[in-house]
Amino acid sequence: MAIEFTKYHGLGNDFILIDNRSSSEPIVTPEQAIKLCDRHFGIGADGVIFALPGENGTDYTMRIFNSDGSEPEMCGNGIRCLAGFLADLEGESRNKDSYRIHTLGGVMTPQLLSNGQVKVDMGLPRLLASEIPTILAPAQEKVISQPLEVAGQTWEVTCVNMGNPHCITFVEDVSTIELESIGPKFEHHPAFPQRINTEFIQVVRRDYLKMRVWERGAGITLACGTGACASLVAGVLTGKCDRTATIELPGGPLQIEWSEVDQRVYMTGPAERVFTGKL
């Protein structure tokens, strides 16, 4: 069976988008996704995203397989790309600028803006240790500025779940972090029973942060939307940044706001179509 796809990226975090609206289960297996994501022998991507029929009153459902075949709860850059992909699929029949999308991490609402950017209501951050999940604190307590020993070094970490789990640590200079070696040690640390995404954050100003990320199941990526959201929340919780800031990632900037009004986190950034093809 021929399968059409579209390649998208959000600040270099790239995905293969597949129209899966005719089935409630992904039409590509995790093993096939691994091959498709291979940058030498496949299309090349950080993950494969499926646009499935909506559930529980939502417009669509999002599923994603990482480049290692694992399935995360959701993906911030990916959901912006999905919004652009859905607009392409609907074409002239599209009658609204926002979608309610069911994900394993909850319902997300991306909105297509007139300037080509996509703004996503990422929902409420979850902060309890049981919600991350992590054993760094008792289940009903928050993990803020807690010590964590990784690779013989003690790091001060804050944990936030933005639909998927994140461990954030603030450093003097993100360029000095040996991400390829330290990232896997964080991801597979026994303190995180479901593994973890890890963000290393440099505070340039209270409204401007630099970030590098090791993503669970994907490794080093050029951007991570949920990670940027989690990092801003962590910065606010630790008193290091304002509630609205630019997060500079290797692939470019995201605008993140943790609203004082409704306590929800909002992410604004690009989603760009690269090319289409057929498997």
Euclidean distance between CA atoms 133 and 232, whole angstroms: 19
Strands 13-19 and 47-53: parallel
Q: Please pick, among 75, 81, 159, 229, the residue that the annotation labels catalytic.
A: 75
Is there a catalytic annotation at residue 167?
Answer: no
Q: Please pick, among 37, 167, 224, 241, the residue that the annotation labels catalytic.
A: 224
Mapped onto helix, strand or coil, the DSSP state of residue 101 is: strand
Euclidean distance between CA atoms 190 and 210, whole angstroms: 27
Tell me the residue length of the chain. Answer: 279
Are 181 and 198 contacting, i.e. CB atoms less than 8 angstroms apart? Answer: no
DSSP string spanning 22-40?
A: T-SS-SS-HHHHHHHH-TT
Is there a catalytic annotation at residue 224?
Answer: yes
Catalytic center residues: 75, 224
